[in-house]
Structure 1
Amino acid sequence: MSDSPVLVLGARGKTGRRVVARLDRLGHPFRAASRSGGTRFDFADRDTWGPALDGAGAVYLVPMSEAVPAATVEEFLAAATRAGVRRVVLLSARGAGGAADPYQEPVELALRATGLEWTILRAAWFAQNFGEDLFLEPILSGELALPAGEGREAFVDAEDIADVATAALVQDGHAGEIYELSGPEPVSFRTAVEMISEVTGRPVRYTALETSRFTAALTAQGVPPEAADLAAELLGRIRDGAGEHVGDGVRRALGRDPRSFADYVKTAAAAGTWGN
């Protein structure tokens, strides 16, 4: 890969900021893009696309947290091609059995239809959801209540995602690859909070909640009904066994095993994630 800058979208997000840190350590030029600060980028503001893409050789594409329509991503990819971008690494999400997530599949297809060097990262649920936003407040309050039953998910460490993404962005040999990124074993939410409780000494319990009570609680907090329904649907997939599958993407991309959820908990606890 040339020394052209890597455009990192979502540079303040869980994986984006980790990719930026790795590129910085490597001494590889990059552009940290977000809605504010650094390089300004917003999928909804096409005037930001050109300056962000100018001179970039590769793009770390993170549309999933933005709920960006596939047509918009397709338009962006066309703009990237015109700007001379050669390589795109897409952070996607996995569906049942490691297949494409139905919500992300149109974006994957749009990327694969380009003439760019593409790599797709189909990630499991992030281990960091327990310590950085999604589940943090419930854990600090002492109860995580979700409609996931006793289903298990092979939670992936965002550090592993960033390692694979960085390798695919700056090294050859990853073009045309679809990497399913997960942890080494599936873990239930009950077991996950028990691990956190044991390591931190903080009492935390998991409650398997009915879907209707979960969505009602979210909407009462001001979450739009469609977003509450989507969250319930995704957690329901875990309840029904969709998260059990263990992917081999970290091993194929990096030649090592992925980090375990237990390793994540120890590292996060040592950093004071849960206030211990």
Structure 2
Amino acid sequence: MTTETTTDPTTDTATLVIGGTGKTGRRVAEKLIAQGRDVRIGSRHTIPAFDWHEPATWAPALEGVDRVYITYYPDLAFPGAADQIGAFAELAVASGARRLVLLSGRGEEAAAAAEARLQASGADWTVVRASWFNQNFDESFFLEPVLAGEIALPTADAVEAFVDADDIADVVVAALTDDRHIGKIYELSGPRLLSFDDVAAELSKATGRKIAYVSVTNEQYRAVLRENGLPEEFADLFTMILDGRNAHLVHGVEQALGRPPKDFADYAREAAATGVWDVA
């Protein structure tokens, strides 16, 4: 019989959730608080503040902390990210925060360097790899296109195994609180592969109105980004969909939690019920 080892939520130490107002960080913080655990949100607008680009903010944010959920902004693939993750992880361990859980990118070679720096820090580490979130369609950059009824992207008929942010948060919370997850790398996906045509069909069904997917070229999409004052580099995010590197299912949710991941259709129904996609 397997014995679960968890952290006592009545201790005086706290969990630092970096990016605690983001899609996964917010959920992780809420779930930990529901367990009666002390949580500190790490962002530029909290006290103490935390800023990846201001290393002087790291030590104050780590004071009294014994575990950390690490999300990196803007992305682990950006130049310098691995060095910052390594420096932060070493400081965290020296400060007494040995349990470190890193949100990484599934299929992102550049993120592997950051993972390696985390693993070399002496921490009790866990890596959680994910790619495209379901919540990109109601909490992020695809919300406006869904409201407009047309999702125009340079993805052709490529497929992606969209994963739900609640599933990611559940795995992260387990990794932060259960010793069995130390030294594990979990790759997460949803239960099925979906093209953006499939996504549009599910969103249409959930909202009761027509939402279409329109395939555009990479250059056309870059022009749209320029017109809206957004970095053209956002178009490069679709490379991982087009080259098929993540066009297969992985089973980290089942491995970590012993249950299947949430299906996109269930996510869409739940999101639609909140009214986020209602239009006048």
TM-score category of the 2 structures, normalised to the smaller one: over 0.9
Q: 2:53 aligns with which of 26, 32, 44?
A: 44
After superposition, give the CA deviation of every residue in 1:255-276 in whole Å (9 maximum; x if it has no partner). Answer: 0000011111011111112126
Q: Cα offset for 1:242?
A: 2.4
Give ranges in structure 2 of 5+ residues lacking alignment.
1-6
Quickly say closer, same or farther: Cα 1:40–1:195, change in 2 above 3 A.
same
**Residue 214 of structure 2 aligns with which residue?**
207
Confirm whether residue 76 of structure 1 aligns to residue 88 of structure 2. yes
Q: Which moved more, 1:248-257 or 1:59-68?
A: 59-68
CA distance in 2, matches of 1:160, 1:108: 21
CA distance in 1, matches of 2:248, 2:48: 37
CA distance in 1, matches of 2:171, 2:93: 23
**Residue 145 of structure 1 aligns with which residue?**
152
**Residue 127 of structure 2 aligns with which residue?**
120
TM-score with structure 2 length normalisation?
Answer: 0.91
After superposition, give the CA deviation of every residue in 1:11-64 in whole Å (9 maximum; x if it has no partner). Answer: 000000000100110001111111103541101112211111012110000015
Q: How does 1:160-175 map to 2 (within 5 A)?
A: 160-175=167-182
Task: Give 3-state SS (helix, strand or coil) of 2:181's partner.
Answer: coil
Q: 1:110 aligns with which of 117, 125, 136?
A: 117
- The answer to whether the Cα contact below 8 Å between 1:57 and 1:84 also exists between their aligned partners in 2 is yes
Confirm whether residue 91 of structure 1 aligns to residue 100 of structure 2. no
TM-score with structure 1 length normalisation?
Answer: 0.93
**Residue 224 of structure 2 aligns with which residue?**
217
**Residue 243 of structure 1 aligns with which residue?**
246
Quickly say closer, same or farther: Cα 1:48–1:249, change in 2 above 3 A.
same
Task: Give 3-state SS (helix, strand or coil) of 1:103's partner.
Answer: helix
**Residue 70 of structure 2 aligns with which residue?**
61
Q: Which moved more, 1:66-75 or 1:54-63?
A: 66-75
CA distance in 2, matches of 1:73, 1:179: 19
Task: Give 3-state SS (helix, strand or coil) of 2:110's partner.
Answer: coil
CA distance in 2, matches of 1:29, 1:92: 24
Q: Cα offset for 1:70?
A: 1.3
RMSD over aligned Cα, in angstroms? 1.4
Q: How does 1:1-12 map to 2 (within 5 A)?
A: 1-2=7-8, 3=11, 4-12=13-21
- The answer to whether the Cα contact below 8 Å between 2:161 and 2:189 also exists between their aligned partners in 1 is yes
Q: 2:268 aligns with which of 258, 261, 265?
A: 265
Q: 2:42 aligns with which of 33, 45, 56?
A: 33
After superposition, give the CA deviation of every residue in 1:110-138 in whole Å (9 maximum; x if it has no partner). Answer: 01112110000000210000111110001
- The answer to whether the Cα contact below 8 Å between 1:31 and 1:38 also exists between their aligned partners in 2 is no
CA distance in 1, matches of 2:130, 2:48: 26
Q: Which moved more, 1:44-53 or 1:155-164?
A: 44-53
CA distance in 2, matches of 1:223, 1:244: 27
- The answer to whether the Cα contact below 8 Å between 1:64 and 1:91 also exists between their aligned partners in 2 is no
Confirm whether residue 233 of structure 1 aligns to residue 214 of structure 2. no
Q: Cα offset for 1:103?
A: 2.5
Q: Cα offset for 1:79?
A: 1.1
Q: 1:274 aligns with which of 274, 277, 280?
A: 277
**Residue 98 of structure 1 aligns with which residue?**
none
Q: 1:196 aligns with which of 169, 193, 203?
A: 203
CA distance in 2, matches of 1:112, 1:52: 21
Aligned residues: 267
- The answer to whether the Cα contact below 8 Å between 2:150 and 2:214 also exists between their aligned partners in 1 is yes
CA distance in 1, matches of 2:169, 2:17: 11
One-letter code aligned to 1:71? D
One-letter code aligned to 1:274? W
Q: Cα offset for 1:142?
A: 1.4
